[in-house]
Copies of this chain bind each other. A is one copy, B any other.
Amino acid sequence: MRTRKRDAKQTKRQILAAAERIFVEKGYDAARVDAIAAEAEVNKRMIYVYFGNKEQLYTQVLEKNFENLFALDAPALEKSLPPVQGAKRLVRAHFWFLAKNPNYVRLLGWEILGGGARAGRVLLETAAAGLEELSEVIRRGIDQGVFRKDLDPRRCVMSLVVLSFGYFSRMELLGVLWEQDLRQRDNLESLLEHIVDFCFNGICVAPSLADEGGAPRSC
């Protein structure tokens, strides 16, 4: 117990993990440095040694959680896939990322409200970069005629992202409202299908309709 202390990396990791839990839970303002130190079972002073101050610690938590997004999103896309499948895959990847990273969801939530004051440009980058690929796929789909021509890819991407995010940021609340544990695998899968369905059956050009020039599609 005293041997394993004096381990800088370990200590630092503990602090970061504790800080993540607390910041995620309470947000920056309500988070207490004392609480983090206690949670990390580490002397408060160490926080200042390793991270400078509360804000920098928070920033590091933010960075760590936002990095994950880039990491995960990237490999999800294979350019060879047809746009529809590609886009769906990306939406699904995003959905599961949110499912597995509730901390990211909450941190992003706090940052959005805080106007990105602390995340700063990282937030924008996240917003932009993370969506670039999806955006690209949509564009390809439009070009290939599988997505409607009048779609604005940026908005389209945003809608896709916002939809999943909206569910995850309200998950606990919805759980109470709907009296079910939305985090259960089945429920998540079912929800994902709803989302995909909801999105894509609006994005896709209804195949046959086009030909016939039948009743105006916009119901």
Are A197's CB and B202's CB within 8 A? yes
| Bound: A133/B84 CA distance, A | 33
Considering the complex, give the chain B residue whose CB is closest to the CB of A218: B201
Considering the complex, give the chain B residue whose CB is closest to the CB of A123: B173
Are B202's CB and A217's CB within 8 A? no
Are B201's CB and A201's CB within 8 A? yes
| Bound: A162/B210 CA distance, A | 30
Are A128's CB and B177's CB within 8 A? yes
| Bound: A198/B215 CA distance, A | 18
Are B214's CB and A213's CB within 8 A? no
With A202-B201, A204-B217, A208-B209: A159-B170 Cβ-Cβ less than 8 Å: no
How many identical subunits does the complex contain? 4
| Bound: A158/B169 CA distance, A | 12
Are A215's CB and B219's CB within 8 A? no
* Residue of A30, A127, A215 ringed by the most chain B CB atoms within 10 A: A215
Are A177's CB and B124's CB within 8 A? yes
Q: Which B residues lie within 8 Å of A166 (CB)?
A: 158-159, 162-163, 165-166
Interface residue? A7 (CB, 8 A): no
Q: Which B residues lie within 8 Å of A170 (CB)?
A: 112, 158, 162
